[in-house]
Amino acid sequence: MRWRVRRTLTSILVFVAITTFVLHFNVSEKSEKFDSGDFQQLHRRAAGVAVVSVRDGSSRVNVHDVGDQRNGSFGSLLHQSKKEQSRGGGIREMAWANDVPSLSDDDSQLPPPLPQQQLNTSETEFQLKLIEKELNQFALQLQQTQENLLREQSQRYGGRQQQLKPILQKSSPPNLTIVVKEAPKYIPVAADTAAKLQQPVPPQSIPETNFRKTELNDVFIAVKTTGKYHKSRLNILLDTWVTQAKEQTYFFTDIFDEEYRIRTNYHLINTNCSGQHSRQALCCKTAVIYDTFLKSGKRWFCGVDDDNYLNVKQLLILLQDYKHEQDVYLGRASLSHPIEAMDRDNAMQRVTFWFATGGAGYCISRSLALKMSPYASGGTFKSMCNRIRLPDDVSIGFIIETLLKQPLTRINKFNSHLQSLRTIKPDQLSKQITLSYGIDEKRVNVVQIPNGAYSETQDPTRFKSLHCLLNPTLGKCPHR
């Protein structure tokens, strides 16, 4: 029995060596002292491999960082600890940490302490079987982690994944610590863990990777609105396209509104910005939107206004044609020529660039959004707006096209109220990504839907009729 445990431990050493070597240039060592019962503190440390030595109620943890701590994919630790009873009456106390998706710094999101129960350790053979199961499971987890790290590194090296494999095979094992001390009569083990140990280890599939196709849950949809338009504009969105993307859609406003917080499933975010339609207010909201997207860990950011209808199906089809690991800026240019601006941080130099109009909606890949961070994160986006004295959507174009040298990919399936929406043929409506409306005293600018499910009096924006046209199986749409 023991030789099987030793063999499994040897396999673990190899996997740990591989994981450590892959990011060898990014490795640093940290130490932190904490109470032995407070292992949940590890959830907020960097991703990596940790070995815990326990002595007299206190522990010293050596955490080897791997990867960029600011990247959500390697941001926290899952701590596990098991004890093996030796023939001499002592136990080996080992601990390891495995990479899992990051958690918020908010303590309220950390898992609560698990209930403890007393596990009798009198039967050495039974304990060894349990340890062997757990070690085998951990070895599989390490293998999966190594594969994910290999993919991360292959992106940095231009996809040369095959060239990295020979390097991984030459890695040397890291230093591990095993502390031996006298065994207590009973070993405290979390209740749910004890129950799981007595069950066969279930097969585990390799986690989803960046190579899979983009899904709706990979998209962060931001709707910019204001308090005075909650009733007149948000109601129609919540009754139509938002029903198809409830969990992915967030509303950014400027007042606290409990009614719509509930209606949006608490996805209504008060930015505390001004409610005026000014450059400062718009840039203030967009700064909050940008930071919220970065924290979400999503692949794609897509922003729309509260007078847009978003064709969720067509949006997903569009994004699946691009890679979120590349720098992608998608949208519609509202002008027929590049806009001109004065760069006040560069001796008032005149600059020209394209930008995607926010009135039609636009999308930015995560790769590009991360490169925007020096110019947009932590509220710095507002200073960029002041730098060229133009609104938020124009300032985004300035950052991407002028500072980051990434051109706008023009997608004319994004539509705003600045266009003549009546010119869009009815048989082309289902292929559009966004649509809009404009209704004032002078004119009505809406899409044309012959024989729509609702009359123009019942549906002045035509969004309800459009929603029924795009989703003919909806039971609530009246038949005309």
Would you please indicate which residues are annotated as catalytic (active-site) residues?
393
In single-letter form, the type of residue at position 84 comes to E
Long-range CB contacts (within 8 A, 24+) of 251-255 = 251/223, 251/225, 251/306, 252/222, 252/223, 252/224, 252/225, 252/285, 252/288, 252/289, 252/292, 253/225, 253/226, 253/227, 254/226, 254/227, 254/281, 254/285, 255/226, 255/227
Distance CA 249, CA 264 (A): 9
245 class by beta-carbon count within 10 Å (0-12 exposed, 13-18 middle, 19+ buried): middle
Angle between helices 161-169 and 124-156 (to 10 degrees): 140
Q: 369 Cβ partners below 8 Å, 6+ apart?
A: 290, 293, 294, 301
126, burial (CB in 10 Å: exposed 0-12, middle 13-18, buried 19+)? middle
CA distance linking residue 391 with residue 384, whole number of Å: 10
Task: Extract the runs of DSSP E, i.e. beta strands, from 56-140.
Answer: 58-65, 76-85, 90-100, 116-120
Cβ atoms of 303 and 220 closer than 8 Å: no
Contacts of 480 (CB under 8 A, 6+ apart): 451, 452, 453
- CA dist list (Å): 159 to 152, 239, 387: 9, 44, 37
Assess contact for 371 and 405: CB atoms under 8 A.
Answer: no
Other residues' Cβ atoms within 10 Å of the Cβ of residue 119: 17
Residue indicated by tokens 């959507």 = 393
| Residue 277 CA, distance from chain mean position | 30
**Distance (Å, whole) CA 435 – CA 424:** 10
Nearest by Cα to 137 from 92, 91, 204: 204
Here the tokens at position 297 are 């860990």
The answer to whether the Cα torsion of 367, 373, 376, 379 is positive or negative is positive
Q: Contact, 115 vs 131, CB < 8 A? A: no
Query: Three-class SS of residue 103?
Result: coil
